[in-house]
Chain A
């Protein structure tokens, strides 16, 4: 099956610093990757969509300068939370759709990253 690996699974950073989260498709080409944010006991909220080699498309209300997304290759997308603050503490999940067609009819999820900003 299609595997998406997300790292780190947990990260604690100091307020004001930046943290990078990686999302890799291990055995398929991820033409599109999605980044979600999930607060405790809530649903997944789409933050942005990224296509390989182009700028990410952010959902309304998501600060593009705060959450930098790079999708430089067909197997890697990164989310960088810049100048993190305690309110950025959350669970971040990536997912990917790929090619060929069989891998484009659903999305494959990473394990998620629990970010805590202190």
Chain B
């Protein structure tokens, strides 16, 4: 079974600074997807960034980037130039490639951006 671990229950960062959220996972699969989702107070799940395991290049989406270390099974999220609107719960998620496999989530990290 796949497990996803987020070891930081809460994080805070000053506006305009950079913060990194940690995520590790355990799997015997070789081909899979990793995700970071943002859940604001509305509780709508918003996809932040996605990484395909077979791609060595780290994914980047504007101010959001990941550090994907496949051998170490690590998938951290870096948020640059933090904005007040980034305040939310962030979930790391794992999904096996192919078929109709489900998505498994970490416990989440509550990020607060301070003015």
Residues of chain A having any CB pair with chain B under 8 Å:
31-32, 34, 38, 41-44, 46, 49, 51, 91, 93, 95, 97, 105-107, 109, 111-112, 114
Min CB distance B99 to A, Å, is 8
A112 to B100, CA, bound (A): 21
Interface class of chain B by DSSP: strand
A1 to B42, CA, bound (A): 20
12 A–B contacts from the bound complex (CB under 8 Å): A31-B100, A32-B100, A42-B108, A43-B107, A49-B102, A51-B100, A91-B43, A95-B45, A106-B50, A106-B95, A109-B44, A111-B43
B102 adjacent to A44 (CB under 8 Å): no
Mask: chain B, 95-111; 1 = CB below 8 Å from A; 0 = not: 10000101111111010
B95 adjacent to A44 (CB under 8 Å): no
B100 adjacent to A106 (CB under 8 Å): no
Say if the beta carbon of B33 comes within 8 Å of chain A. yes
Interface class of chain A by DSSP: strand
B91 adjacent to A49 (CB under 8 Å): no
Per the 8 Å Cβ criterion, residues 21-74 of B in contact with A are 33, 35, 42-45, 47, 50, 52
Extra 7 A-B pairs, beta carbons < 8 Å, given A42-B108, A43-B108: A32-B100, A43-B91, A44-B45, A44-B91, A105-B52, A106-B50, A112-B44
Max chain A Cβ within 10 angstroms of own Cβ: one of B35, B42, B43, B107: B43
